[in-house]
Amino acid sequence: MKLTCTSIRLTRDEIDNNYIVSVSAWLNNLEKQKLHELSKSGKALDVEITQHRNKRSYEANGYLWILCQKLSEKIGGTKEDIYKEAVRKAGQFEFVAVSERAAESFIKAWQGKGIGWYAEASESKIDGCKKIMVYYGSSVYDSKAMYHLIRYVVDECIENDIETLTPDQLVAMSQEWGR
C-alpha cells in the first residue's frame, strides 16, 4: 500500500526511548480497511518514507509527442522512433542481471510494456548472466524526469530549427505539471 501523507510527526516514547512516527494521510474506504487489516496482523511491516514527486501530466505528454512529430517531419522517421531514441538518450534506466538463457525472453517481455520500454543486453561480469540496461517509458515518469526528457527533445528541435516553447515557458509549464 502506498500513501501520500499530508503531514508527519516524530515524537519520542518516554518508556522505551523509541521514536514514534505519526503520519496523516487522506484514505479512501478500501485503503482504511487494508491498513486496519495490516495493523491487526501482528506481523512486521516495511515502511518507506520518501519525498513525494508528482507524476508527469497529460499536458507534458502531449507536448512531448508534438515535438516528436515535428522532429520526424523534419529529419525523417516516425514520431515513435524519435521518442524511443529520446528515451534511450535522456530517459530513466537501470541495470539488471538476468541469466543468459532468460535474457532474450526478459527483453521481449520488457519491451512489450510500451513504446518507450526498451532494453539492451551486454556482457556481465557474473558468469552465466547478461547485464541488461532497461529503460522506462515516460508513462511512469514523475514531473522532474519528464522535464528532463522534454528538455532533451526541445534541444534536438532547436538544433533542427524547429520552433519550441522558450526556456521560460517550458519552466512555467513544468511547474503546472505538478498541480
Structure confidence at residue 18 (pLDDT): 87
Taking the C-alpha atoms of residue 23 and residue 10, their distance in angstroms, rounded to an integer, is 9
Q: Is the pLDDT of residue 23 over 60?
A: yes
Q: For 117-168, how does the pLDDT look when each residue is reduced to its tens digit (9 = 90+)?
A: 999 999 999 999 999 999 999 988 888 888 899 999 999 999 999 999 887 7
Q: Are residues 32 and 85 in the same domain?
A: no
Provide the domain count of the chain.
Answer: 2
> Are 177 and 60 contacting, i.e. CB atoms less than 8 angstroms apart?
yes
Of the two residues 66 and 15, the one the predictor is more confident about is: 66
Q: Are residues 3 and 72 in the same domain?
A: no
Nearest 5 degrees, angle CA 160-CA 162-CA 167? 105
> How does DSSP classify residue 19?
E
Q: How confident is the model at residue 61 (pLDDT cuts 50, 70, 90)?
A: confident
Structure confidence at residue 77 (pLDDT): 94
How many other CB atoms are there within 10 angstroms of residue 81's CB atom? 15
Does residue 18 come out as left (phi exceeding 0), alpha (psi in the -120 to 50 range) or beta?
Answer: beta
Of the two residues 94 and 59, the one the predictor is more confident about is: 94
Q: Are residues 30 and 78 in the same domain?
A: no
Cα-trace Rg, the chain: 22
> How does DSSP classify residue 119?
E
In 13-128 the beta strands, taken as DSSP E runs, fall at 19-25, 93-99, 118-123
pTM attached to this predicted model: 0.64
Domain endpoint, select from 19, 34, 52 = 52
The DSSP code sequence of 24-43 is: EE---HHHHHHHHHHHHS-S
Parent domain of 36: 1-52
For residue 149, what is the enclosing H or E element?
helix 143-159
